[in-house]
A and B are shown apart, each in its own frame.
Chain A
Amino acid sequence: MTSDMPLLQVKNLEKYYDQQAGIVDWILRKDSDPVQAVDGVSFRLDENESLGVIGESGCGKTTLIETLIGLHEPTSGEILFKGTDVSTFDKGDWKQFRREVQMIFQDPFNALDPKLSVRETLEEQLKIHDIDERDRRIRDVLEQVELSPVDNYLDRLPKQLSGGQKQRVSIARALIVEPELILADEPVSMLDVSTQAAILQLLSDLIDDFGVSMVYISHDLSTVSYVCHQLQVMYLGRVVESGATEVVLNEPKHPYTRALLSAIPIPDSEAERERTELPGTPGDPINIGNGCRFRDRCPDRMELCDKTPESYALSTDHHVACHLHSEHDDQGDLNAVSSSGDVANGQSISAGEGGDEL
């Protein structure tokens, strides 16, 4: 960290979508309830840091990233980029922002224009942002994403590239404008394992060697340790647990984080992993009222869980929004209605405090 001012700060961000009101609703003048896709998300991202946003399909990851980049108007909350609220941006500020913040998409197979060669794809990006010395930059960036010898790749069309190579071109396109922040939406989930490792390595090099910051979205916790310093686990629009990557992976405290971790298959024929006990899927974040959003699936649900849990600090670097960990919660006896003994409340809280050392 070079200064106290975070590169990106998000405060209480909400993005609700209006549901497509049907004609009947319209005639009856009935308002349909909004989809609470992102609901009260806050975080800070410092220079040269990377944050992983983790959660199942539909939890709001893509909405979050699209709101951050300005594709959606937030319903409420603030997004500060280098200390300035983006809602105060003028045209010139947005132009600057669109250069400094770049995206990498999930699907390398559709992210590139099939008619443009690698060179043309990169040239187009430089033209949009009025950047000179195009040839040199194109060569440098291709070296950087390890598409070398460069001359072998310059004139290839996307269909002449493998999935991993396409993803490298997408990364090159983001990188060539020298961004400060990259937002990556599931960048390896469509790649074979044989190429996945190389792309993870490349992303982590960008952070370590080129001073880029990153928000890395994934539904899969098994790759985050290769890229992310910090993690934040989302469930139906809300952050349920956040902290340093190794803390969250080693000492997950939220029942949902635990479920996500325990469902990952282990590449070991002798490992005796129990299959998940979690029923169902996340519903839609529509009209879900108060209370913990995970409560209809949670093995540890208590009466208290009909109240929305706040985010509790287990250490300076580990937060969890779950009543099991509400040490100072004024609702009193936590153990009274807990259905499961395996998360002993007192024990987890003290373990959390121990997490400070990490």
Chain B
Amino acid sequence: MSDDPLLEVENLTVQYKTKEGMLTAVSDASFAVSEGEYFGVVGESGCGKSTLLLSILNALDSNGQVTNGVIRYKGEEIQDLSEQELNQRIRWKEIAYIPQGSMNSLDPLERISTQAVQLAGLHSDLNEEEALTKFEEMFEIVGIDPERIHDYPHQFSGGMKQRAIIALALFLEPSLIIADEPTTALDVIMQDQIFKHIDDIVDRVGTSIMLITHDIAVVFESCDRMAVMHGGQIAEVGPVTRIDNEPHHPYSTLLQEAFPDIREPNRDLSVIEGKPPRQIGETDYCTFVDRCPWATEECREAPPPLERAEADRSDHFVSCFRKDDVREENEQGTDDRKAPNQKSGSLANDE
């Protein structure tokens, strides 16, 4: 892994046009993914994870648009590139994408090898024979018998389809693979098999991976760095070990406390009442305010800026007005905040 940023996102705001007005799905998000890095993005359903990465791929739904910010890939601004340029230069051969629910994204009427050859034709200079040889190697990497590249998708189980899609994503040797919830519909054993192959890819091929998931355990186990999102805002971004051991944002802290751990089957799980707001118009406050045990009036008056968690650390950022208090309390283990499962006030915002 090198420190050169491969992907940089700066002050990104993404909105969808809706009947009620402009819905802000991502608000002022900033982070960077380095070369060879395994980067995780966690947050609950609706927090803007998919929107964030669709905007990186310039593949937002037609009613969505980037209203502010810059997306840089290998130093080049890509947010305004044309479809044609994206297809020729970026998609698949630089950035490959594994969509959410992707098990169903293979064309059922075409052999998988045919789909690979088509991709190669569109996005690379490989001829058919080269493409097939290459694709067989990819099947090897994801643990499927290379002879089966000529199968139709329906001949594969769900987990195999998922791996075939990972093989397609790897195929043109992209520098970055973005995977949106690649294992969410799968059982634990299948999930673990797939992550084993992804680990392999990171080790052997050196591709950067951006993994989107709601499962904080998967990110803690596998990734180098991570971002925690809440209600369209980046709550915290930094090395996985830091966010695990020294979280500064209340949401990062509570998310960990809510997550079951098979090693401690009797630990109390915390509850985060309510859900993130649906934000029409600009987000001009902290979107965690109605669920946050540390919230004060200040948190409603402006969005908290994403700042260094500690002055002497350039790799860990937090957006919380009270990050120092939160940190202190976490450290002392004292808990003068409200009990997390006390429902006072929070239900009112839970529309």
Contact = CB atoms under 8 A, between A and B. Distances in A.
Contact of A261 (B262, B275, B343, B347): B262
Interface stretch (B123-131, B263-271, B296-304, B313-321): B263-271
Contacts of A270: 241, 244
Interface stretch (A15-23, A134-142, A193-201): A193-201
Interface stretch (B64-72, B103-111, B182-190, B330-338): B182-190
Contact of A220 (B188, B216, B241, B343): B188
B157 A269 contact: no
Nearest to A250: B265
B322 to A, nearest CB: 20
B221 interface: yes
B329 interface: no
Interface string B170-184: 000000000000000
B58 interface: no
B189 A160 contact: no
Interface in B239-290: 240-241, 243-245, 254-256, 258-263, 265-266, 269-273, 275
Contacts of A165: 350
A111 interface: no
B320 to A, nearest CB: 17
Interface stretch (B75-83, B193-201, B203-211): B193-201
A162 interface: yes
B88 interface: no
Contacts of A160: 351
B272 A275 contact: no
Contact of A263 (B45, B192, B266, B351): B192
Interface string A148-178: 1000100000001011010000000000000
Nearest to B257: A197
A195 B271 contact: yes
B261 A268 contact: yes
Nearest to B264: A225
B240 A269 contact: yes
Interface string B50-93: 00000000000000000000000000000000000000000000
A246 B258 contact: no
A193 B221 contact: no
A28 B188 CA distance: 41
Contact of B260 (A226, A269, A271): A226
A246 B265 CA distance: 8
B1 interface: no
Nearest to B193: A276
A260 interface: yes
A267 B265 contact: no
B199 A275 contact: yes
A223 interface: yes
A175 B142 CA distance: 47
Nearest to B275: A162
Given A219-B187, A269-B240, A192 B44 contact: yes
A273 interface: yes
A268 B220 contact: yes
A264 B188 contact: yes
Interface residues on B, range: 35 or more
B214 A264 contact: no
A275 B261 contact: no
A271 B192 CA distance: 15
A198 B341 contact: yes
B244 A268 contact: yes
Contact of B266 (A152, A196, A223, A225): A225
Contacts of A195: 271-272
A269 B241 contact: yes
B240 to A, nearest CB: 5
B214 A249 contact: no
Given A146-B343, A226-B260, A192 B214 contact: yes
A12 interface: no
Contacts of A264: 188, 217, 262
Given A162-B350, A267-B256, A281 B192 contact: no
Nearest to B220: A269
Contacts of B217: 264-268
A193 B214 contact: yes
By Cβ-Cβ distance, the 4 closest A-B pairs, closest first, are: A225-B265, A197-B269, A265-B217, A194-B272
Given A264-B262, A265-B221, A269-B244, 11 more contacts: A148-B347, A193-B44, A193-B255, A194-B255, A200-B269, A221-B188, A221-B262, A245-B265, A263-B188, A266-B217, A271-B220
27 contacts: A56-B189, A192-B44, A193-B44, A193-B214, A193-B259, A194-B255, A195-B272, A196-B258, A197-B258, A197-B269, A198-B273, A201-B269, A201-B271, A219-B187, A261-B262, A263-B189, A264-B188, A266-B220, A267-B216, A267-B256, A267-B261, A268-B244, A269-B220, A270-B244, A275-B199, A276-B193, A281-B189
Interface of B: 44-45, 157, 159, 187-193, 195-196, 199, 214-218, 220-221, 240-241, 243-245, 254-256, 258-263, 265-266, 269-273, 275, 341, 343, 347, 350-351
